[in-house]
Amino acid sequence: MVLIASLLFISCAVNKDVTPLINDNLRTTSPYFAYGTKPINLKIQSKCVQAPSVRIRNIENRMENYTIFKSPNQTFYIIPSELMNVAANYLKEAYRKCRVEDGNNHDKFIDISMKMAYASHSIWSRGATIEINVSIPEIGYEEFYHAEDWTGKDHGAAVAYVIHDALWQIINDPNVQDYILCREDINYLKAKNDKVRNITEANKNTVKSSGGKIKVVAGTYGQNCGVSKGNKTEHLANECNGKTKCEYVVKTFVIGDPYFGCAKNYIAEWKCGADQTLHTSMIPPEAGWSSTITLSCE
């Protein structure tokens, strides 16, 4: 009888690609309404000789299933390359709303790809987090845009909302606007980004040469299940603080299960010595089955 019940449970397990559901949610006006987003007329701010334009290119090439949420009876995944196609089209349409044209003949390019994504779950709501990489090769600009939020709707809506949020961060970024709207000379923007990159590298070298040590900011086990952020900080800090590199093994039977029945991720956040840069690393569900997360200041 137990075997039959187990087989029925397994047969009812859900393994679903939510990329189409995310796309459907982005086709509605719901994200604009939820965030109160009002497109701005960027054309009137432009100093370009012709109407401002930009070509959005999806450079994400991962075709495999990427799990964003997993529990004992359901697994939701996306296909990164397809999701970034959805995001690229959404960004193009958002720029059109801002009076910035799109087309294959334009000489300004923005490349996007997915850094990470995962969905969260609580009794009453669904959450999502995404980080989108942006690169502007012509001026050497690189940045990633982070968004996270919760909704009373499904996981597809949650991911759609954070995509909307991250993409509008790109549109509103003054550095990106300077490029698209010709507000600064291309050579100036190149030099500016080279300087930022050199300062960043110098800061990294300073931290390394001064023996920067790990200082744990937060350890969270099961954030995708709706638990409080930093619920396992003390144990992570005891294991990793003061080291230059720490291979931390996540074991449920050691740190405890904060949400029984939900497949949990693990997120570590830390800084290195005097450097205020926040470093983040995540293990997807099931993280508690002796998965290893690496914290490093090397």
- Tens-place pLDDT, residues 120-162: 777 778 888 899 999 999 989 999 999 988 888 888 999 999 9
Per-range mean pLDDT, top range of 5-9, 123-127, 150-154, 191-195 = 150-154
Residue 253 in tokens: 């039977």
Which stretch of 90-94, 99-103, 265-269 has the lowest confidence by average pLDDT?
Answer: 99-103
pTM equals 0.70
Q: What are phi and psi of 53, to 5 degrees?
A: -150, 155
- What residues does 78 pair with on adjacent strands? 66
Task: Give the whole-angstrom CA distance, residue 253 versus residue 288.
Answer: 8
Where in the chain do CATH 3.40.50 domains reside?
13-194
Task: Please give the CATH number for the structural domain made up of 13-194.
Answer: 3.40.50
Residue 26 in tokens: 């982005």
Average pLDDT over residues 46-65: 93
- What residues does 218 pair with on adjacent strands? 269
Nearest Cα to 212, choosing from 247, 249, 248, 241?
241
* pLDDT number for residue 13: 62
Q: What are phi and psi of 75, to 5 degrees?
A: -130, 125
At 106, the amino acid letter reads: H
Q: Which residue has the tokens 């949400």?
A: 259
Confidence of residue 249 (pLDDT cuts 50, 70, 90): very high
At 117, the amino acid letter reads: A
Nearest Cα to 72, choosing from 7, 13, 119, 123?
13
Nearest Cα to 298, choosing from 210, 217, 174, 230?
210
Nearest Cα to 92, choosing from 44, 26, 19?
26
Task: Give the whole-angstrom CA distance, residue 62 versus residue 158.
Answer: 22
Answer yes or no: are the C-beta atoms of 14 and 75 closer than 8 Å.
yes
